[in-house]
Amino acid sequence: MRTTVDLPPALHHRVSRTAAARGVSLSSMISELTALGLEYSQEDHEEPMSTSPVTGLPQLRAGRPITADEVADFLAESE
């Protein structure tokens, strides 16, 4: 379906560069980015920072659980 979209010049330039780097048309790039944006907006996203119900301290969402071994490795590298 054909439609007209007004993009700010800076955004048009970014999308054009990305499309050129991927070897696709500007129209295809806008279509892909729109689909990704809609998909993301329809997913259930947790806040990146919340408060632990156990400790009351702030906690960040890392995307996956961090193991005690990973913490130990990080602390060892930091010394």
pLDDT in tens, the chain (79 residues): 888 989 999 999 999 999 999 999 999 999 999 998 888 777 666 667 788 888 888 887 777 778 889 988 989 888 7
In a domain, 32, yes or no: yes
Which tokens belong to 7? 């993009």
Domain assignment present for 3? no
What is the tally of structural domains in the chain? 1
Sign of CA dihedral 10, 15, 19, 21: positive
Q: What is the dihedral of CA 68, 73, 75, 76, to 10 degrees?
A: 140
Does residue 24 fall inside a structural domain? yes
For residue 45, report the phi and psi dihedrals to the nearest 5 degrees.
Answer: -105, 135
With 0.75 as the threshold, say if the pTM is over it: no
At 30 the pLDDT is: 95
* Residue-range definition of the domain harbouring residue 51: 9-77
Q: Which H or E run includes 9?
A: helix 9-22
What pLDDT does 51 receive? 86
